Homo-oligomer: A and B are copies of this chain.
Amino acid sequence: MVSASVAERVSRIASEMGYARSSLAYGLRTGRTQTVGVVIPDLTNPLFPPIIRQIERRLAEQGYIAILADSDNNHENEKVIVQSLMSRNVDGLILATAHRLDSVVIACVEENIPLVLVNRTIDAHSVTAVINDDAHGIELAASHLVGLGHEMIAYIGGPQDTSTGHERFLAFKHLKNAGHFKSHSDLIRNCKAFTEIEGRRGFLTLLKKDRKFTAVIAANDLLALGCYDALSELGLRCPNDISVTGFNDMPFVDRLAPPLTSVHIPHEEIGNQAAELLLEKMRNPQSPIRTVNILPELIVRGSTAPPA
């Protein structure tokens, strides 16, 4: 409606007079705020910071700012947070909080907001997600323990309403049923949360029963730390009495006493992929739904050894 030279002159004078673009007014007019909401279940889990940092970096390169929120492992919080982000007209969402059946995720899909799940996905696989090959990770841990000579293996799992908790547990059961090692329902405990406290509590109940196993696979590193706590409380040593494996290879597990053998997932690459897929989805809402499955590898450290 105005010529390019007039538009240029208006911008120049506005800028000289100290006016800056109001993101609010810009957002109202264009429906875009250049902000992305990122929701994680537990900020104090060292798994997330390197993933988030990479998401922030990739998004910043494209002029987006991330609003980070922590749901504190609480589905009700997740709902409130996502509503609050939506009312602030975020252009997209990255959720690390998904449950296998997740009304918040479904509501986001119905609202047509660009959405990427990270680390966990929903059973329907109807949302783009960047996840790890959970079954392969458990296989790597089990093969390593079997290779060391362990025959009877315990399992400390995560919540079964998350894809990570469920897939890792299914993989363990499948390997046991296929005869790769022995286990028993008394040697398997799925915890309510991926935390040290839950891992300790779960492993204590196994250790206090008839202890015939020589190794335990924990479904993530925080659960493995809980296993360390349970062992030291009972005066047992790792790996001399019991070998322990974790999952995620989160920062600092290489410095623990003993350093933790863990399934490594590439944190930065996961963050990168999640940001890329969201940027694509925001540019083109019709881009196809996909699940990117990242292959983990095992990092062997001092927490695993041949059985005594």
Question: Which of A112-120, A150-158, A256-264, A278-286 is found at the contact surface with chain B?
Answer: A256-264
**In chain A, residues 1-49, which have Cβ atoms closer than 8 Å to a Cβ of chain B?**
20-25, 27-28, 33, 35, 43-44, 46, 49
Provide the bound-state CA to CA distance between A251 and B56, in Å.
Answer: 23
- Is there an interface contact between A88 and B65, defined as CB atoms closer than 8 Å? yes
Q: Is A255 at the interface (CB under 8 A from chain B)?
A: yes
In the bound complex, residues from chain B placing their C-beta under 8 Å from that of A258 are 257
In the bound complex, residues from chain B placing their C-beta under 8 Å from that of A50 are 44
Q: What would 16 more interface pairs be, CB under 8 Å, given A20-B87, A65-B69, A252-B255?
A: A24-B28, A24-B89, A25-B28, A35-B88, A44-B49, A46-B251, A46-B252, A56-B69, A57-B72, A65-B81, A65-B84, A65-B85, A66-B69, A67-B68, A256-B256, A257-B258
In the bound complex, residues from chain B placing their C-beta under 8 Å from that of A93 are none
**Chain B's nearest CB lies how many Å from the CB of A56?**
6
Provide the bound-state CA to CA distance between A33 and B259, in Å.
Answer: 46
Sort A-B residue pairs by CB-CB distance and give the 4 closest, nearest first.
A257-B257, A68-B68, A23-B88, A43-B49
Q: Is A217 at the interface (CB under 8 A from chain B)?
A: no
In the bound complex, residues from chain B placing their C-beta under 8 Å from that of A57 are 72
**In chain A, residues 68-116, which have Cβ atoms closer than 8 Å to a Cβ of chain B?**
68-70, 72, 81, 84-85, 87-89
Q: Is A52 at the interface (CB under 8 A from chain B)?
A: yes
- How many chain A residues sit at the interface, stated as a range, is 35 or more
Q: Is A135 at the interface (CB under 8 A from chain B)?
A: no
Say which residue of B22, B65, B85, B255 sits within 8 Å of A228 (CB atoms): B255
**Chain B's nearest CB lies how many Å from the CB of A94?**
13
Q: Is A225 at the interface (CB under 8 A from chain B)?
A: yes
- Is there an interface contact between B27 and A56, defined as CB atoms closer than 8 Å? no
- Is there an interface contact between B225 and A255, defined as CB atoms closer than 8 Å? yes
- Is there an interface contact between A251 and B44, defined as CB atoms closer than 8 Å? yes
Chain A at the B interface: SS class: mixed
By CB atoms of chain B within 10 A, which of A72, A85, A252 has the most?
A: A252
Name the residue on B nearest A87 (C-beta).
Answer: B23
By CB atoms of chain B within 10 A, which of A24, A43, A257 has the most?
A: A24
Q: Is A53 at the interface (CB under 8 A from chain B)?
A: yes
Known A225-B255, A257-B255, A257-B256; judge A22-B56 contact (CB<8 A).
Answer: no
Q: Mark A185-208, 1 if CB is under 8 A from B, else 0.
A: 000000000000000000000000
Provide the bound-state CA to CA distance between A46 and B87, in Å.
Answer: 31
Name the residue on B nearest A260 (C-beta).
Answer: B255
Provide the bound-state CA to CA distance between A68 and B87, in Å.
Answer: 18
**In chain A, residues 201-249, which have Cβ atoms closer than 8 Å to a Cβ of chain B?**
225, 228
In the bound complex, residues from chain B placing their C-beta under 8 Å from that of A85 are 65
